Amino acid sequence: MKNYHKHDVEKLKQFLEQPSAIPSMKNGEVLDFKYSPDDPETWEGVIFTSDKEKRISVLFWINKTYLTGHLDLSGCSSLSIVYLSNNRLKSVNFEDCKEVEQVICENNAIETLNLNGCVNIYTLKIKGNPLGNISMLAADRIPLYKHLDQKIIKPEEHQVSSILNTIKKNFSDQPDELTEFAIKTNSNFHSAEDFFKLKTSLKQRKSRLNNKFKFTEKRIKQLEAFNEWLTEKEKDAVQQARELEKMANEQLNRSSFTKDYEIEILVELFAPEKYDRFAELEGNPFYSFIPHLLYQKHQIDDDEHTDWVLDRNHNEFQHHKKHPLRNQHHCCLFHELYDHTPLAWQDILDIEEMWIEVNLTSQFMGKVQEHARPGVLK
């Protein structure tokens, strides 16, 4: 295997050649049906360095249900990030992997974990394993004494930055602003300044990607089918909001608590297949938004607005004679997606799952009577 570091590829090959949890299939074959033991380019989820002799840098093997056996990458000194959650691994050995910073291997069958000599490791997540032996000599940058009971380290901001830098380095051919925004949003690492900069970069990204996007016949049909599906969900959401507002108005008249209320529709978008290599996005949306045009408080009796939302053609391009979507009838929610969010057309096509919440918040605000104020109690 020319141009690859012999030690690293032999170590990894030993694991890939082990039997998987599927009879007659090897681990490598479970990862990718194109797997060839003599061609590292077919080793799915493995990122190599750009050195003259390429070394293993990152492993992204998440939710590979039938991946099992003993993973020994000891001495792979360029390995930096390892994501192995939700597999069936039995043991893991990263001894003397001096550059490794993150090891995420939750929910496996790991009984033995060797991190001896991992002097730069910051993040270790190992819950959901029947661990009987953990060896961590010289891996003293993890404050395990604070977390032995739960065996999980909450990532710090510099750790999020570390993986984002790796993403940018190894996926430079893919736009990563949205990924960075999603990871930071789900990890609560947004300062006000950072949030503004990312939102600005997302707008620039949208313009850049949409300028390159080609509306093929297949894509046009996919977008049309998605719009039709959204149309039905939109009607259901608006109906639910109207019913909740009716209930809220009844509460105003007979409840001693409810003095006001809010109605809000929240939409969360998921693309697990696209983002499965990022543990921070596992089970989390890559983008969330509130479609303000869809429903606002006090619109329960506003049939004109409801008709405008549900019946009007919200197609932004209907008067653009050359636009490929001009003849489609767009629902309000679809219009909000492409016109009022920073999502590019390709991001919309990547959506696999959608979570829609219709929330009623009952609110109370009242003046504390003087005899009940804490400052005057004796």
Residue range 7-56, pLDDT digits in tens? 999 999 999 999 999 988 999 999 988 899 999 999 998 999 888 899 99
Residue 369, domain member (yes or no)? no
DSSP state of 278: -
- Do both 16 and 78 map to the same domain? yes
- Do both 188 and 126 map to the same domain? no
Of 174, 189, 212, which residue is a domain's last?
212
> Within a 13 Å sphere around the CA of 167, how many CA atoms are in the beta-carbon half?
21
Predicted TM-score (pTM) of the model is 0.53
Give the whole-angstrom CA distance, residue 154 versus residue 279. 13
- Do both 132 and 37 map to the same domain? yes
Range of the domain at 227: 217-363
- Do both 245 and 201 map to the same domain? no
For the chain, helix, strand, coil in percent to 5 are 35, 15, 45
Classify residue 140 as exposed, middle or buried by CB count within 10 Å of its CB (0-12, 13-18, 19+). Answer: exposed
- Do both 37 and 148 map to the same domain? yes
- Do both 253 and 330 map to the same domain? yes
Q: Which two tokens stand for residue 362?
A: 């009952």
- Do both 349 and 266 map to the same domain? yes
Number of domains comprising the chain? 3
Residue 39, domain member (yes or no)? yes
- Do both 310 and 336 map to the same domain? yes
- Do both 149 and 13 map to the same domain? yes
- Do both 101 and 178 map to the same domain? no
CATH code of the domain in which 72 resides: 3.80.10
pLDDT single digits (tens) 112-161: 999 998 888 877 888 889 887 676 665 554 544 333 333 333 344 444 45
Burial readout 32-52 (b: 16 or more C-beta within 10 A, e: otherwise):
eeebebeebebbbbbbbbeee
Distances (CA, A) of 212 to 266, 271, 318, 323, 346: 30, 21, 21, 15, 10
Question: Would you state the pLDDT for residue 375?
Answer: 62
